[in-house]
Structure 1
């Protein structure tokens, strides 16, 4: 009897441990990266290890004070516009301050975003943690098509079309602050994106093309993405977000102070130092094609942090799906293509190769 009681006691302990493990998995807010991508770690003989960080030079991006655009002196306004165009040609990235978006909106955006990502994983995966009528597949994490560690992104995100924002039941009081915050952020950042895009279009010197972006990049075709990069303490050389270019006209990013964003400059990776309440602007593939290669869509990535989580929110300025992307002057480096065609090609490439090919598919053959 004593032996039987001992066995039962051990069985009871094992059951309790299993229940505890199940509860931890159910309640945990982090996606199950290790469990899901075990095969990749085994395939490359990678096990838990001390996290090492490759030394990457930290350089200052072009810093542009947008307050100059609102000044009375024409020369200062024109100088600011030239700085925006120069940064877009030479870097494809720049930082803006005094951009007109109140700090409290940015701070509230981060606060509400943190709440969303603190929800249990199973709720986020069900697209219902915000009680919003989000489009199917709005919540994304990891890299479903990854075939090697280089294609794995240790991150999660909510991809939110602007048409989805605040489509919530009036009876859901708990989401009111989140909805109003996201809407405020989207509205103010959208205005800024239009202003910057018009400046860049005007700089090309073809007034007939300036209206294209305003007509095609309407709110219904743009979207936000709220990002979270969980700590990755065990595995070295795992990316928070794999290297890529953006498939839009213009991206505006608000990030916290953790850092991790890196981009290619002169053939080398450089690290971007966060600046409180500043916004990062980068050129997307469509603007590179539309400008006939004048403005550069630059490869960038996010490195995983071994100890700290990172949050950011990005606004993507996109045209309608049927919009035809045509270089503003001839001879064109790229053939004409619709945005729908471009997105379809990107999806096919990711499925086939595990990563995006991009504009190379649309170069005009000489």
Structure 2
């Protein structure tokens, strides 16, 4: 079991090392990877949507007026879409490219180098062959592990590739700084006291995915439709799109922009903002042309943290829309990745 404070509960349900998938060269999608007609993406093309805002974080450093404009854009994106992309974020491009290369190298290693690791090591490699959702396997391979604080968790990470710990550690530290910058800007926009999120964002989990090219993307999924139970999630897509967001009942595709990060609002930030920001359902689809690698880092509260609407946002005209809840209880109640906040909304 994990020994790091605030991590055990997050991983309890997924503490089984699973086998590497064996379907890379198949000519058709096996039945066990074929989702029901209601869940599968279908053949209708979903073009890349230009509506998802792309926000230039560098402008927030130029002047007070530019900073307020950036904050306005963040809040509008969080209210309307629950998703946005950020550019000029301060993370060196070479850090990002090295990290993507390292994960691609990891996923290309021989099977036995990835699966012969006891769960007590503190990281999990899951191959699609045993990853089942609603009785159907997902078309992906995945590695998950905690990545904060680095000094406590880095020694439990994979030893191969040789560059893994150094490269991914640098990336995780940079993403942490970016996440705190975004959360602080959101604080300012909502009128919450500065530093509000510092103590409730202590758990940071990394999940990297490899989606092999698929002979028929209309039948299967890389990740099912879900909501993130995080404060925020920061995703790097590389140069291959595959992330789709549900907006007004329609799926839209989030384009993969060079050196840009996708940020999505998690359930916990929806609760803390008392519904001013919203978490949006999303999924990952496959394609028939090339493999896709993505890196997601989830910024979460600790299990014993009480999540509730920020008191400064509440008054007689703005009552709390959500009940207070321990993050541990929220996760346990969901039993799945991404519970709807409807379950803890106060009755009208």
Report the TM range for the smaller structure's normalisation. 0.7 to 0.9
Give the helix-richer structure, 1 or 2.
Answer: 1
Note if contact 2:229-2:339 (Cα within 8 Å) is conserved in structure 1: no
Question: Aligned residue for 2:309?
Answer: 327
Question: Aligned residue for 1:146?
Answer: 133
Note if contact 1:288-1:294 (Cα within 8 Å) is conserved in structure 2: yes
Compared CA separation, residues 223 and 43, structure 1 to 2 (3 A): closer
Q: How far, CA to CA, are the matches of 2:231 and 2:302 in structure 1?
A: 12
Compared CA separation, residues 38 and 317, structure 1 to 2 (3 A): same
Compared CA separation, residues 42 and 184, structure 1 to 2 (3 A): closer
Q: How far, CA to CA, are the matches of 2:100 and 2:342 in structure 1?
A: 36
TM-score norm. by structure 2 comes to: 0.81
Indicate the SS of the match to 1:180.
helix
Q: Does 1:65 align with 2:53?
A: no
Note if contact 1:140-1:157 (Cα within 8 Å) is conserved in structure 2: yes
Question: Aligned residue for 2:288?
Answer: 306
For residue 163 of structure 2, the aligned residue among 177, 181, 197 is 177
Compared CA separation, residues 43 and 94, structure 1 to 2 (3 A): closer
Structure 2: runs of 5 or more not aligned: 1-18
Question: Aligned residue for 2:183?
Answer: 197
Q: How far, CA to CA, are the matches of 1:44 and 1:254 in structure 2?
A: 29
Note if contact 2:240-2:292 (Cα within 8 Å) is conserved in structure 1: yes
Question: Aligned residue for 1:216?
Answer: 200
Q: RCO greater where, 1 or 2, for CA within 8 Å and sep 6 or more?
A: 2
Q: How far, CA to CA, are the matches of 2:126 and 2:305 in structure 1?
A: 26
Structure 1: runs of 5 or more not aligned: 1-28, 46-50
Note if contact 2:140-2:222 (Cα within 8 Å) is conserved in structure 1: yes
Larger Rg: 1
Q: How far, CA to CA, are the matches of 1:192 and 1:317 in structure 2?
A: 11
Note if contact 1:324-1:336 (Cα within 8 Å) is conserved in structure 2: yes
Q: Does 1:82 align with 2:66?
A: no
Q: Which piece of structure 1 moves more, 140-149 or 58-67? A: 140-149
Give how far 1:30 is off.
5.2
Indicate the SS of the match to 1:183.
helix
Note if contact 1:239-1:304 (Cα within 8 Å) is conserved in structure 2: yes
Aligned-CA RMSD value: 2.9
Give how far 1:206 is off.
3.0
Note if contact 2:227-2:266 (Cα within 8 Å) is conserved in structure 1: yes
Compared CA separation, residues 233 and 77, structure 1 to 2 (3 A): same
TM-score norm. by structure 1 comes to: 0.77
Compared CA separation, residues 53 and 165, structure 1 to 2 (3 A): farther
Note if contact 2:184-2:197 (Cα within 8 Å) is conserved in structure 1: yes
Note if contact 2:235-2:294 (Cα within 8 Å) is conserved in structure 1: yes
For residue 102 of structure 2, the aligned residue among 93, 109, 112 is 112
Compared CA separation, residues 133 and 97, structure 1 to 2 (3 A): farther
For residue 339 of structure 1, the aligned residue among 317, 327, 334 is 327
Q: How far, CA to CA, are the matches of 1:43 and 1:279 in structure 2?
A: 29
For residue 228 of structure 2, the aligned residue among 238, 246, 252 is 246
Give how far 1:175 is off.
4.7
Q: How far, CA to CA, are the matches of 1:43 and 1:74 in structure 2?
A: 50
Question: Aligned residue for 2:12?
Answer: none
Question: Aligned residue for 1:272?
Answer: 254
Compared CA separation, residues 168 and 235, structure 1 to 2 (3 A): closer
Q: Does 1:155 align with 2:134?
A: no
Compared CA separation, residues 319 and 42, structure 1 to 2 (3 A): closer
Q: How far, CA to CA, are the matches of 1:102 and 1:42 in structure 2?
A: 40
Q: How far, CA to CA, are the matches of 1:272 and 1:286 in structure 2?
A: 22
